[in-house]
Structure 1
Amino acid sequence: MKLLFLNDSSLLTQGLASGFSSEDIIRYLPVHLPDWEDRLEHLLKAWKPNFALAEGVSISTVARKLFPLLRRHSIPLVYWAIDDPPDWRRMSRPLARGASLVLTPAEECLPLYHRDKIRALYFHFACNPSFHRPVEPSLEYHSDLLLVANYYTSYPQRAIGLETILTPLRSEPYQLKIYGNEYWVSNTDHYSLPSNVYRGYLPYDQLPCAYSSTKIVLGLHSVITSPTMMSMRTFEALGCRAFFLTHWSPAIENLFKNHIHLVWSRHPDETLELVRFYLKREDLRLKIARQGQEEVYRSHTYQHRVQSVRTSLETL
């Protein structure tokens, strides 16, 4: 197949692209570039991909120009609705109407798409074993606790996760490092961190190194009611053989086993108990981290994901 990705985000370049075979040809033409229309017009004429693919918000500002252009050249659009379910009505549904196929990590959204006669398949995040793997640790990222996540509370359920996982640890005497957007230190919610905890934005190519250099990786989710949707960091951290501590959700429990593949907390006090216990038990951290990696490599790689929808992609 010839695939045209309309963004060059790390989710695509280091993630989804790894799920296709060596016989597939992938090209990237980000539609955020100033001259994207002329470049896309030329590429569609000269190369004629089997389909174009876009994820999340990446095409939201150009959809009115993009959709007619793709239709004019008879190129199907595959839309990966990575912000389902909270943004289904506001963003996913309108963009899905211009797509030939929608992929969603939220299984409960499938009936909503089908009700609108939109073709949709379940398609979750995953890991790429050639990238999401243990690497040599670095003193720069060495810590007791590490969180790689952006700060925002626009999704109420994310605020619940924040209060369950991070808030109880802010005043504890652990070496905590947080990487993400600058709203960790300039938010309007008056959420504050101790000095030297926030370390700036982490380049994605440093993610495996950061995860390989800490004792406990913390996880936050924007959705805690979905039976399937969770942060992509879950699969990425487990792929890097990190010991992963996150807050409970039905999706986490449906896909993984507590104290076997990862560890979850339901309450701030439980978070403190778990951190105190596992920081003293390196043997258990290493065992659970290894089992978590084995689980995602066995069932949750992008090769698994692409294989599950490949027939649908080939017949677009």
Structure 2
Amino acid sequence: MRVLFLESHPMWIFGLPNGFMDAGHSVMISGSLTKNNISKMIDEFKPELIISMGWTPEHTEEKQAWIHDAVKQRKIPLVYWATEDPLHTKEFSIPLVKTMKPDFVFTVTPSMCKVYEDEGFKSAHLDFAYYKSIHHRVQPLEKYRCDIAVVANGYPQFLLNNPDSFRLSSLQTLISPLLKNNIRVDFWGKDWDSMGELLGKEIPRDWMHGYLDYREAHKVYSSARIVLGIQNCTDQLTQRTYEILGSEGFLITSDTPAVKSKFKHNHDLAVSSSPEETAELIKYYLKNENEREQIRTQAKQTLKNDTYQHRAEKIIEVLNNHGILGNNLPSIDPFLEVLIDLGILGNNNKSIEEGEIIHYPELLKQKYELYDVKKGDTLFHISQKYGVDFKQIMQLNHLDSSVIEVGVMLKIKEK
């Protein structure tokens, strides 16, 4: 089957798409979306399933409308995976599905299925997972070595606006007692310099390391002696729970029904239900390396059925059960002709192997000189830089005006 993912963010393109590839399907990843390239990808790749997920630059209100118009016109099944539930269901996920009108909504929060169904959308629970090629253990690296690590964003504004959220409780249970006792915690992520009021104490500047690329996180999990994992609510597991344990990090997280329904305390990880318990667990496990190492290994075994291939297979099973996927799939991939025309494959190729990922921007690079729009760029300055009339660039990219969006990949000229 051919599956088109409308996404560009590293957090998402290295997870579920790879799961579909591992399950033997041909996958295309869109990169930055424009009003015209969505239709072009669909017409060239001819997907049998289109998936959108998360909350990224590809989910602006304008792009939601583009996706709806392009996909519904061609009557291809569209799935949305709501990974921001339940924190942003009302403000983001529900308005999005009302605009995009997907044929099915998967949500990471079981209790949200009824919410979508009440809005008229078929829905099922789909949990996070981990991808073995990204989330695996490596030898500890000096730049990431530390006793206690946190890899997450702070989200201070959300927490100030939602003081009753479980995420704040989780932060105050896991992190506040360590700060108050001046126990060093190394933070990777955004906005921790604005969290002092919420945590009860300011975080020293040399404890904060800023943004960390998604593909680097497993190196922190492998190098830290202990990783603290924040939970957002009591009835679901965060994405990083799977990724930390998949990378064989030693995890201390909040004691919730969702955590304890899947993992065993002091066997796969450690759970804390109070600031005092967190302090005791930290003290104990920093001194007991052998137990930490044993637990790190056991957790990976517990996750043997929680890879993104398993999630891809579940998506197909659920969609088949609901009659959303067609049964008569073409035996020869028509996208082969496009690759031959671009000179990427020779004429002697009979078919595209299953289990392959195609990045649409990489295809464009074969035929066009491209430019990634950066903050402050104007179409006029880009045209001057490359010596190409800006009207030609507009025509090549089907632009209605000279306004360009940061992050979009512009075709400059044919090679």
Please give the TM-score of this superposition, normalised by the length of structure 2: 0.70
In structure 2, what is the Cα distance between the partners aligned to 1:10 and 1:136? 23
1:121/1:67 CA distance change after superposition, 3 Å: same
Find the partner of 1:139 among 138, 142, 148: 142
Give the conservation status (yes or no) of the 8 Å contact 2:11–2:214.
no
How many pairs were matched up?
Answer: 308
Query: For 1:219-238, what per-residue CA distance to the aligned partner results, in whole angstroms no more than 9, with x for missing partners?
Result: 112223x2xx2211100000
2:288 equivalent to 1:281: yes
Aligned counterpart, 1:65: 66
In structure 2, what is the Cα distance between the partners aligned to 1:257 and 1:188? 32
1:52/1:43 CA distance change after superposition, 3 Å: same
Query: For 1:125-152, what per-residue CA distance to the aligned partner results, in whole angstroms no more than 9, with x for missing partners?
Result: 0011222111121110000000000001
Aligned counterpart, 1:179: 188
**What does 1:103-114 correspond to in 2, within 5 Å?**
103-114=106-117
In structure 2, what is the Cα distance between the partners aligned to 1:84 and 1:46? 33
**What does 1:2-151 correspond to in 2, within 5 Å?**
2-22=2-22, 23-31=24-32, 33=33, 36-58=34-56, 59-61=59-61, 62-97=63-98, 98-151=101-154
Is the deviation greater in 127-136 or in 268-277? 127-136
Give the conservation status (yes or no) of the 8 Å contact 2:136–2:247.
yes
Secondary structure at the counterpart of residue 137 of structure 1: coil
Secondary structure at the counterpart of residue 90 of structure 1: helix
Query: 1:120, CA displacement in angstroms?
Result: 1.1
Query: 1:279, CA displacement in angstroms?
Result: 0.5
1:28/1:21 CA distance change after superposition, 3 Å: closer
2:213 equivalent to 1:203: yes
Share of identical aligned residues, percent? 30
Secondary structure at the counterpart of residue 102 of structure 2: coil
In structure 2, what is the Cα distance between the partners aligned to 1:190 and 1:103? 32
Query: For 1:167-197, what per-residue CA distance to the aligned partner results, in whole angstroms no more than 9, with x for missing partners?
Result: 111144544210001x111458475202311
Find the partner of 1:267 among 268, 274, 283: 274
2:317 equivalent to 1:311: yes
Aligned counterpart, 2:241: 234
Secondary structure at the counterpart of residue 267 of structure 2: coil
In structure 2, what is the Cα distance between the partners aligned to 1:168 and 1:71? 52
In structure 2, what is the Cα distance between the partners aligned to 1:190 and 1:79? 33
Aligned counterpart, 2:226: 216
Give the conservation status (yes or no) of the 8 Å contact 1:144–1:174.
no
Is the deviation greater in 215-224 or in 271-280? 215-224
Give the conservation status (yes or no) of the 8 Å contact 2:149–2:224.
yes
Give the conservation status (yes or no) of the 8 Å contact 1:246–1:265.
yes
Is the deviation greater in 66-75 or in 277-286? 66-75
Query: 1:45, CA displacement in angstroms?
Result: 1.9
Give the conservation status (yes or no) of the 8 Å contact 2:196–2:203.
no
Give the conservation status (yes or no) of the 8 Å contact 2:178–2:184.
no
Query: For 1:250-280, what per-residue CA distance to the aligned partner results, in whole angstroms no more than 9, with x for missing partners?
Result: 2111121111111110111110000001100
Find the partner of 1:168 among 153, 158, 177: 177
Give the conservation status (yes or no) of the 8 Å contact 1:170–1:194.
no
Please give the TM-score of this superposition, normalised by the length of structure 1: 0.91
Secondary structure at the counterpart of residue 111 of structure 2: helix
1:6/1:164 CA distance change after superposition, 3 Å: same
In structure 2, what is the Cα distance between the partners aligned to 1:8 and 1:85? 23
The one-letter code sitting in structure 2 at the alignment partner of 1:205 is R
**What does 1:237-248 correspond to in 2, within 5 Å?**
237-248=244-255
Give the conservation status (yes or no) of the 8 Å contact 1:60–1:91.
no
Give the conservation status (yes or no) of the 8 Å contact 2:178–2:279.
yes
Query: For 1:76-107, what per-residue CA distance to the aligned partner results, in whole angstroms no more than 9, with x for missing partners?
Result: 22100001123222222232341011111111
Unaligned runs of 5+ in 2: 326-415
In structure 2, what is the Cα distance between the partners aligned to 1:164 and 1:8? 34
Question: Quick check: which has more Rg, 1 or 2?
Answer: 2
Secondary structure at the counterpart of residue 205 of structure 2: coil
The one-letter code sitting in structure 1 at the alignment partner of 2:173 is T
Secondary structure at the counterpart of residue 169 of structure 2: helix
